Amino acid sequence: MKGLIRKDIYMMKTYFRISWVIVLIFLVVGAVNEKASFYYIYSCMMGGILPISLLSYDEKERWLDYADTLPVSTNTIVRSKYLLGLIFSVAVSVLATISYAIGCKVSRGGDLSGVPGMAATFFCISLLPAILLMPVIFKFGVEKGRILYYILFGMLFFFAALTGFSDQFSAPALSLHPLIAVPVFVALWIGSLLFSQVMYPRRER
C-alpha cells in the first residue's frame, strides 16, 4: 500500500496543488465572513473529492490496468484510496475547524460553543464524496460515476444557495451533534469501503 499512497502523493503534488490553494483561500474568506457556510462546505467537499479525482486520473492514464500486473490486491487498491481520502478529510476538516474558530473570535462575537458541532459537520461533509461516489466509480468507472458527481455537486450548490439566502441554514444551524454524526458517517464510510471492495473485482476489464 505504501507504493500506491506514494504514487498518489506524487500525482497530487502535480495535479492538485491548486485545489489546496483554493481550499486555503476559501477558508481564509470563511473566517472573515459572517455568513461563511458556503465557503466551508465547498472546501470540505473539495478536500473529500480529491481521492475521486485521483481515481479519475488513474483510469484515464490506465494505472488501474497496470496495477493488475503488480503484486497488489484489488482490496489494497480500494483501501489505499479510502485511506488517502480519510487523510484528506481529516486535514480539510481540521483546517476548516481552525478557520471557523478564528472566524468566531474575529467576526462572530467570540462564542466558541458551536465549534465542536461545526467540526463534526465539516468532517461528515468531507466524507460524503467517498461514501457516495467511490463504489460507483470502482464498479462502473469514471464516466458513469460522473453523473452522480454532477448530482452531488448540484445538491451542494443548491444547499449553498439556500445557506446564502436564509439564516435558517447557515452555521451554526448546520451544526451536527459530534457524538452522533461522526460515528454514523464513519460507519457509512466503512460500509462504502466494504462495498467498493466487493464491487471493484467485478468491474469489467
Partner 1 sequence: MNAFAIRGLTKRYDGFALDSVTLELPEGCILGLIGENGAGKTTTIKTALNIIKKDGGEAEIFGQKVEGDIASLKEDIGIVLGEPGLSGCLTGEEVARIMEGIFARWDNAEFRRLADELDLPLTKKYKELSQGNRMKLGIAVALSHGAKLLILDEPTNGLDPVVRDKVMEILMDFTREENHSVLISSHIVSDLEKVCDYIAFLHNGKLMLCEEKDALMEEYGVLHCKREDFEAIDPAAVVGSSDSIYGVSAVVRRDAVPEGWELSPVSLEDLFVVMVKEA
CA torsion angle 110 94 122 189 (round to 10): -150
Round to whole Å and give the CA distance between 67 and 161: 41
**Near partner 1 by CB under 8 A: residue from 19, 33, 73, 175:** 73
**Near partner 1 by CB under 8 A: residue from 21, 22, 32, 66:** 66
Given the rule CB under 8 A, which of 4-12, 32-40, 134-142, 151-159 is the region that contacts partner 1?
A: 4-12
Q: What is the closest distance, in whole angstroms, from the C-beta atom of residue 121 to partner 1 in the complex?
A: 34
**Near partner 1 by CB under 8 A: residue from 11, 148, 152, 194:** 11
**Near partner 1 by CB under 8 A: residue from 28, 29, 33, 75:** 75
Q: Quick one: 167 or 204, whose CB is closer to partner 1?
A: 204
Given the rule CB under 8 A, which of 8-16, 86-94, 114-122, 132-140 is the region that contacts partner 1?
A: 8-16
163: its cell numbers: 445557506
43: its cell numbers: 472546501
Q: Residue 147 class from Cβ within 10 Å (0-12 exposed, 13-18 middle, 19+ buried)? A: exposed
Q: Quick one: 67 or 156, whose CB is closer to partner 1?
A: 67
Q: What is the closest distance, in whole angstroms, from the C-beta atom of residue 62 to partner 1 in the complex?
A: 3
- Tell me the per-residue interface mask from 33 to 62 with partner 1, x by CB under 8 A, - otherwise: ------------------------xx--xx
Could you say whether residue 3 binds partner 1 (CB under 8 A)?
yes
**Near partner 1 by CB under 8 A: residue from 25, 34, 65, 173:** 65
Q: What is the closest distance, in whole angstroms, from the C-beta atom of residue 72 to partner 1 in the complex?
A: 6
Round to whole Å and give the CA distance between 129 and 148: 10
**Near partner 1 by CB under 8 A: residue from 19, 28, 33, 76:** 76
CA torsion angle 193 194 195 198 (round to 10): 120
Round to whole Å and give the CA distance between 63 and 56: 10
Q: How far, CA to CA in Å, does 200 sit from each of 86, 113, 141?
A: 19, 43, 10
40: its cell numbers: 466551508
Round to whole Å and give the CA distance between 65 and 58: 9
Q: Which residues bind partner 1 (CB under 8 A)?
A: 1-7, 10-11, 14-15, 57-58, 61-76, 201, 205
